[in-house]
Structure 1
Amino acid sequence: MSYRLSYADGARALRQHPIALGLFPLVLAVVTVGIAIVAASAGVAAVQSVTSFLISAVFITSGFHFVRQSYGVARIGFSYAKASLQPWENRALRLAVYPIWLVGLRPLLSDQGGIGYLGFEVGPAILNGAVFACLEAAAWIAVASVVAVYLRVWSRGVRPTGLMVAPYAVIVVWMIAPIGQIAAASLAFSLVHALQYLACCYRVERNRAGGEGIPGLVTWFYVVVVAACLGIVATRGLPGWLDQTWGTPGQPLLFSALAFVYLNLTHYVTDAVIWKSSGSLLKPRLHSG
C-alpha cells in the first residue's frame, strides 16, 4: 500500500520526490546487484561485512520507521475521534517513541548482544549496559507520559478508541520484548506494521475514488491476500530459489539478505514520502468526503 500511495500520481510523484522515489531505488538496486556480482566472483566472504552493515541498517531504520508510524496512526485516531491535543500533549506523544525505539533495538546495539540473520552477524554492538539502563528509565517515563495524555483526553470527554491506543500498545510490546528471535520478530512486526495501514489506507482509497467505484471489504480482503502472496514470493520464494541455485551450502543466504535489504529500505523511503509530505498525500484523502 505504501508504494500505491507514494506513486499514485505517477510522473508527478516522481517530479515532486525525484530522490526518494526515483534515484534512491535505482542506486540501491545498483548496489545490491553489485554485491551479488562481487560475491559470484570472489565469494560471499568478500561482501559479508557490507551486507551485515546493510541488514543492521534495515533493522535500525525500520524500527525507527515503525515507531514513528505508530505515532502517525495514533494521531489519525485522535483526528477521527475529534480529540484535540494541546501542544505539550502532542509533543509528549511524538517524543515518547524515540527511547522506546532504542530500547527495542537492544539486541542489535548492546555490547553484550549480537544476533544473526540469514547467516550474517547483525548489529554494531556499540552501547553498554549503563547506557541502556538510562534508556530504559527514559522509555518508561515516556510510557507514563503517553498514559497521562490518554487520561487527560479521557477527562475531556473523549473516550480513547482502539485506533488511538493500539499503536502505542504495540510499541510498548516492542520495548518489553525486543528483537531476540529475529525471524519471528520480523514476521510479527511486519504483520502489525501492515495492519496499521488499514487504519488509513481504506479511507484514502475510498476518498480517492470520489464516491465512485469504492472498493468493498471483500475486495480489500482479496487485495491483502494477493499482496501477501506477492510479498512471500518477493521476499522468500525467489530469493530462496536463487540461494539454492547459485549459493554455496553452509554459506550465508546472500540473495535472501539482499532482497530483504532492498525491499525494506525502499519501503522505508517511500513511507517517508507519505508521512513527511506535509500532509499532502494523506490529509485531503483522509478527511474528504
Structure 2
Amino acid sequence: MHPSKQPWLHSAWIDTVFILSPPFLCLLAIVLFPDFFQQHVHNLPVPAWVLLILLIDVGHVYSTLFRTYLEKETLAQRRQLLVWAPFGAWVGGMLLYALGGGIFWRVLAYLAVFHFIRQQYGFMRLYSRKEKRPAWERHLDTFCIYAATLLPLLLWHVEGERNFNWFIDRDFVYLSFPAVAPFITAFNGLVFGVYLLKEGWVLYQTRTLNVPRNLVIIGTFLAWYIGIVYYNGDLIFTSFNVISHGIPYLALVWIYGHKRQTKASLEGKPAWHDRWSLGLVGIGFFVGLVVALAYIEEGLWDALVWRDHPQVFTFFQMLPQVEDKLLLSILVPLLALPQMTHYILDGFIWKSSGSPLKT
C-alpha cells in the first residue's frame, strides 16, 4: 500500500503518535532507563501511579462519555442500553461482591482482559477496512492478534504469581503448570514469525504494505510478551498495559468526535455537542473533564476503601474509611461502575456501519 494511501483514521502523524507508537515508546523508555524500571519491580512510584493509573487508565474510562451519554445521536439510538447497562452492572457487581470480594475482582479482571484484547482486534480491523485480501490472510491476522494477547496471558496463568497483578493479588486463577511454559513461548514466537513471513510474501507479491495494521499487530506482540512475560516488574507491566491501551482509546474517541463534527459542518448543521473536539478549547474541555472525573473517582476510592495515596487526595481524607462488609458490597461495585459500564458499552458503540471511522 502506497504511503499516501495508508488507511489512517485521522492522519499519519496523529495515528502514529497517539495510536501506533505507545508500545514502541514504552520499549524505548525501558531500554534507555533500565535502572529506573528495575527499581520499581514490586510497586509503582507515586508520580508513575498518578500518570498511569489516575490520568490515563481511569481517565480513558470517562472518555467513553463523549461517545455515549454526551452524544445526542447515540443517546437517542441506544437509550435503553445506556440506561440499563450501568444499572445491570451495579446489581451484578453487588451480587458478585456478596459472594466475596475476591470473586468480584476476579470477574472484573477477566472482563477487563477481554476488553483489552478486543480493543487490539478492533484497531486491527479498523486499519484493515480498505484492504481487499484473500480470506486466509484476514483469518491469519485475526489469529495472530488473539495469539499475541492470549498466549502471554496463558503463560502468566501457568507460571503462577508475578510481581504485579491486574487489579488485586491473586485476581487470576493460576494453573501452576510451568512445564508447559517453554512450549507456549515457542508457539508464540512461531506465530509471530509466520505473521512476518506472510507480510513479507504479501509485500513481494503486491508491492504494498499496510503500515498501521502491521504496527498494531507487531506492537501487540511486543507489548504483551515483553510486558507480561519477558520482564517481571510492576512498572514495566503497567506502563505497557496502560499506555498501549489508554492513549489509543483516548485518541480514538477524539478522532471519532472530530470526524463527526466535520461531517456535521459540511452538512450545515453543527451543534454545540459536535464542537467539543475542535481546537485547543475542545481538547482542553475533553482532557479536563476526563481528568477531573478520574480524580474524583480515585479520591473516593482512596478515602473510602484503599487508603493508599493520601498525599494525592488530601481533601478526601476527611471521609471515613468504610469497613462494614454490607456497605462495601454496595460501595465497591458503585465506585467500579464507570469502568464496568465502559467495558460493556465498548462492545456496542463502535459497531455501527455508519461510523465515520469506517470511511
TM over 0.5: yes
Whichever residue aligns with residue 246 of structure 1, its letter is Q
Asked if residue 28 in structure 1 is aligned to residue 89 in structure 2, the reply is yes
Between stretches 61-70 and 114-123, larger displacement belongs to: 114-123
Indicate the RMSD between aligned Cα atoms, in angstroms: 3.5
Match for residue 238 of structure 1?
Answer: 300
Match for residue 11 of structure 2?
Answer: none
Q: How does 1:61-100 map to 2 (within 5 A)?
A: 61-79=111-129, 82-100=130-148
SS at match of 1:274: coil
1:74, 1:168 within 8 Å by CA — same for their partners in 2? Answer: yes
Match for residue 216 of structure 2?
Answer: 167
Q: Equivalent pairs: percent with the same residue?
A: 17
Match for residue 218 of structure 1?
Answer: 280
Q: Deviations over 1:245-271 (max 9, x none)?
A: 2245xxxx9999656753333222111
Q: Cα offset for 1:34?
A: 6.4
Match for residue 177 of structure 2?
Answer: 128
Give the TM-score taking structure 1 as reference length. 0.72
- 1 CA distance for matches of 2:76 and 2:304? 33
SS at match of 2:174: coil
SS at match of 1:265: helix
1:111, 1:128 within 8 Å by CA — same for their partners in 2? Answer: yes
Whichever residue aligns with residue 67 of structure 2, its letter is L
Give the TM-score taking structure 2 as reference length. 0.60
Match for residue 56 of structure 2?
Answer: none
1:13 aligned to 78, 91, 101, which one? Answer: 78
2:126, 2:358 within 8 Å by CA — same for their partners in 1? Answer: no
Match for residue 193 of structure 1?
Answer: 245
Q: Deviations over 1:94-136 (max 9, x none)?
A: 1123333233325752363266677653221135224444433
Match for residue 158 of structure 2?
Answer: 110
Q: Cα offset for 1:239?
A: 1.0
- 1 CA distance for matches of 2:166 and 2:209? 42
Match for residue 256 of structure 2?
Answer: 204
Between stretches 110-119 and 124-133, larger displacement belongs to: 110-119
TM-aligned CA distance change 1:237 to 1:62, over 3 Å = same
Structure 2 gap segments, 5+ residues each: 1-62, 308-319
Q: Cα offset for 1:200?
A: 3.9
Q: Cα offset for 1:216?
A: 2.7
TM-aligned CA distance change 1:201 to 1:254, over 3 Å = same
Asked if residue 285 in structure 1 is aligned to residue 356 in structure 2, the reply is yes
Higher relative contact order by CA 8 Å / sep ≥ 6: 1 or 2? 2
Q: Cα offset for 1:198?
A: 5.2
SS at match of 1:54: helix
1:3, 1:270 within 8 Å by CA — same for their partners in 2? Answer: no
2:120, 2:216 within 8 Å by CA — same for their partners in 1? Answer: yes
2:158, 2:174 within 8 Å by CA — same for their partners in 1? Answer: yes
